Amino acid sequence: MPVVSAPYEINADDVFVNLESVFGAPLHLKCEGFNLAGSVKLKAALEMVRAAERDNILTPGSVIVESSSGNLGIALSMIAAHRGYGFLCVTDSRCNRASRRLMESFGAEVRVVTQAAGERGLLGARLDMVRELCEEGSKYVWLNQYANPNNWQAHYRTTAPAVAAEFPELDVLFIGAGTGGTLMGCARYFREQPRPVTIVAVDSVGSVTFGGPALPRMIPGLGAGVRPPLLDSSLVDDVVMVPERDTLHTCHAMARRGFLFGGSTGTVVSGALRWLAARRDAAELTTVALAPDQGERYLDSVYDPQWVERHFGSPRSWDNAADRDLPAYQLARDA
């Protein structure tokens, strides 16, 4: 029986879901949300905190400050509470209510930005507030997930090797593009392996990460209004951009089969299904997608019919009536 002394030691890192039964697609999903922080962000958060402690940047009395749309903030609030630091999260109005409440339950302070910073969007406004806080006093320590190399190193050391161990014949890995930490860590790891693996980044329409125009986005998690400094696009073989309606469609399709995943996971899976649908040899490929989060924190948004209709219109208007019950993989193949 395992006995732990820290909340972040509870983590199941070897859970994979075969989505063949849900979508009829040759796709496995690595579940990264089975820890007490509920998402893949726990890995980067812990790596960044430990590095700051080793470098004497974090000391007794420090207050960690970070910009987050939710998941990293939750991970940092849990770690800070256990290790005796303060934590202040700067988020924006898209952050789920459940995520804000979780951070506050750990004793964190949450400040919500509601006004975008021009073309830099809400993320730009969040970053401006973080910099202003750090100028106020030395007690604030910004780990800066967007530029901190420990972000991607966490996934180079843990996430990618775990996938490789379970799928030694891996052909394609689908990874969501947020800060670029998970994407860059896995891409760098597999570039060093003898077996070639195709790295496909999945991003949200409206994100500027890969050069697209900035557009309003309602689902927190993936995507960015400011290009992530960590990103090295030369390590990415292909990019799939996913409209948020497709994210919702995929999340609901998985939920109807008993798998309740978060919005980021819905985006990654939707992108993977569309990429596979365009490949004649898809059935012969060994493929894995990384699932960053679980769905409980999205009950007031992605899984709330009123929220969905308010922001995206009635789901009945999205597709032809005859298509609504088809698996997303089949919809993608027919598109």
Same domain, 185 and 306: yes
- In sequence order, the 6+-apart residues with CB closer than 8 A to the CB of 276 are 25, 26, 27, 282, 285, 287, 329, 332
- 1 is a domain residue: no
Asked if residues 320 and 303 have their Cβ atoms less than 8 Å apart, the reply is: no
Q: Do 300 and 164 share a domain, yes or no? A: yes
Which residues are registered as beta bridge partners of 200? 174, 238
Has residue 232 been placed in a domain? Answer: yes
Contact, 29 vs 19, CB < 8 A?
yes
Low-confidence ranges of the chain (pLDDT < 70): 1, 316-335
The domain in which residue 55 lies consists of 41-142
| Structural domain ending residue among the three candidates 92, 116, 142 | 142
Both 102 and 239 in one domain: the answer is: no
Backbone torsions φ then ψ of 295, nearest 5 degrees:
-95, -10
> What is the model's pLDDT at position 323?
44
Per the structure, the count of domains in the chain is: 2
Which sign, positive or negative, has the C-alpha torsion 49, 55, 60, 62? negative
> Are residues 187 and 252 both part of a single domain?
yes
Residue 2 within any structural domain of the chain: no
Does 272 fall in a domain? yes
Asked whether residue 107 falls in the same domain as residue 175, the answer is no
Q: Can you give the pLDDT at residue 113?
A: 87
Q: Does residue 183 share a domain with residue 329? A: yes
Output the pLDDT for position 326.
45
Give, in order, the Cα–Cα distances in Å from 326 to each of 29, 106, 278, 281, 322: 20, 42, 17, 21, 8
User: Which two structure tokens, joined as six digits, stand for 284?
Assistant: 């012969």
Paired tokens of 200: 């496909």
Residue 325 parent element (H or E): none
Question: What's the CATH code of the domain at 122?
Answer: 3.40.50.1100
What is residue 320's predicted lDDT score, i.e. its pLDDT? 46
At 46 the pLDDT is: 96
User: Are 329 and 276 a contacting pair, CB within 8 Å?
Assistant: yes
Q: Does some domain include residue 121? A: yes
Q: Is residue 302 part of a domain?
A: yes
Instruction: Identify whether residues 128 and 226 lie together within a single domain.
Output: no
123/68 same-domain check: yes
Whether residues 269 and 136 fall in one domain:
no
Q: Of 142, 175, 210, which closes a domain?
A: 142
* pLDDT on residue 264: 93
Q: Do 131 and 156 fall within a single domain?
A: no
Whether 168 and 59 map to the same domain: the answer is no
Quick one: pLDDT at residue 216?
80
pLDDT value, residue 321: 38
Give the pTM. 0.90
pLDDT tens sequence across 157-174:
999 999 999 999 999 999
What helix, strand, coil percent values describe the chain, rounded to 5?
A: 45, 15, 40
Give yes or no: residues 119 and 258 share one domain: no
Cβ(13)–Cβ(31) below 8 Å: no
DSSP class of residue 108 equals -
CB burial of 54-77 (b: ≥16 within 10 Å; e: otherwise) equals: eeeebeeebbbbbbbbbbbbbbbb
Q: Is residue 282 part of a domain?
A: yes
For the sheet containing 238-242, what is the strand order? 16-18, 28-31, 287-291, 172-176, 198-204, 238-242
The residue from 113, 142, 171 where one domain ends is 142
